[in-house]
């Protein structure tokens, strides 16, 4: 079986696994999601085994695993309508296949040059933001204390940001600047989650605000790591961040 076919089969199997988790008893559903995420990790390792570098066991397999967990958790919160299930399954299957393709490109590019790298980085950035939004929405749906929101958002953000930053350099290991940048960015997003927890906003508005913060700061850091951080680029990111901050402020139901 060719690698591309393995990726298609994996996407279909995981989509079926996602559907299966919805028929598990509620008290066991989180365990089912954990098992499905682990299956995604090892299936991805199997699918990419020919070109997967050693560091790939950490960075190349993170996004498929986290994406699976994020969609499954978000799926858990949606109404149990047939149309909703079908749409989410289609969304998950297409998204998973796209992620597997970009992780395949990253694993190959870590060993030799490849022309599709720039496109893969752009898609990877987008899917990282999508996964982050699903996680943030789920986290705030639990209505935790502000400090718990901050801690969980910090941890999830770090796990997502680290491989995203690594995809810019594709080094054989995690460089100190990649690790430190990821930690700082995760701390910033965690702090934003703490403060936004006190704003009278809907869960969707909070999630979009945090994803925008991730977009702005991660975009700036990726541009800096890739040697493409120009003045116009920085201003563009800051304008987006300021605009969303103002919109979020006026959306809040103060008083």
- What digits encode the pLDDT tens for the residues 30-39? 999 999 999 9
Instruction: Identify the helix (H) or strand (E) that includes residue 53.
Output: none
At what angle are helices 62-77 and 146-169 packed, to 10 degrees? 140
Smallest CA-to-CA distance from 142 within 73, 65, 66 is with 73
Residues 153 and 77 both lie in one domain: no
Residues 123 and 226 both lie in one domain: yes
**Binning pLDDT at 50, 70 and 90, where does residue 209 land?**
very high
What per-residue confidence (pLDDT) applies to 255? 66
Spatial distance between the Cα atoms of 174 and 153, rounded to a whole number of angstroms: 22
Spatial distance between the Cα atoms of 105 and 119, rounded to a whole number of angstroms: 10
Average pLDDT of the chain?
91
If one counts the domains in the chain, the total is: 2
210: pLDDT strictly greater than 90? yes
Neighbours of 138 (CB within 10 A): 22
Residues 79 and 202 both lie in one domain: no
Residues 249 and 136 both lie in one domain: yes
Q: Which domain holds residue 169?
A: 115-255
89: pLDDT strictly greater than 80? yes
Residues 127 and 50 both lie in one domain: no
101: pLDDT strictly greater than 90? yes
* End-of-domain residue from the set 113, 134, 158: 113
For the residues 192-197, what does the mean pLDDT come to? 96
80: pLDDT strictly greater than 80? no
Global pTM? Answer: 0.94
What Cα–Cα distance (Å) separates residue 95 from each residue in 12, 126, 177, 217? 11, 10, 29, 23
């Amino acid at each position: 079986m060719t690698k591309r076919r393995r990726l298609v089969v994996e996407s279909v199997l995981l989509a079926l696994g996602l559907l299966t988790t919805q028929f598990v008893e509620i008290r066991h559903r989180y365990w089912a999601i954990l098992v499905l995420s682990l299956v995604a990790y090892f299936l991805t390792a199997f699918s990419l085994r020919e070109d997967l570098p050693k560091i790939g066991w950490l960075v190349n397999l993170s996004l498929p695993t986290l994406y699976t967990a994020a969609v499954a958790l978000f799926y858990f919160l949606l109404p149990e309508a047939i149309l909703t299930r079908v749409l989410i399954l289609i969304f998950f299957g297409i998204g998973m296949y796209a992620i597997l393709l970009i992780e395949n490109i990253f694993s190959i590019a870590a060993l030799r040059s490849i022309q599709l790298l720039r496109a893969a980085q752009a898609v990877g950035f987008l899917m990282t933001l999508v996964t982050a939004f699903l996680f943030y929405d789920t986290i705030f749906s639990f209505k935790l204390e502000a400090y718990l929101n901050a801690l969980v958002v910090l941890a999830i953000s770090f796990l997502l940001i680290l491989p995203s930053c690594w995809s810019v350099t594709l080094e054989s290991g995690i460089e100190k600047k990649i690790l430190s940048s990821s930690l700082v960015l995760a701390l910033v997003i965690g702090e934003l989650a703490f403060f936004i927890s006190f704003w009278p906003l809907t869960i969707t508005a909070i999630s979009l605000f945090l994803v925008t913060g991730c977009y702005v700061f991660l975009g700036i850091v990726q541009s800096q790591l890739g040697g493409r951080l120009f003045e116009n680029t920085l201003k563009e990111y800051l304008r987006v961040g300021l605009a969303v901050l103002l919109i979020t402020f006026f959306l809040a139901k103060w008083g």
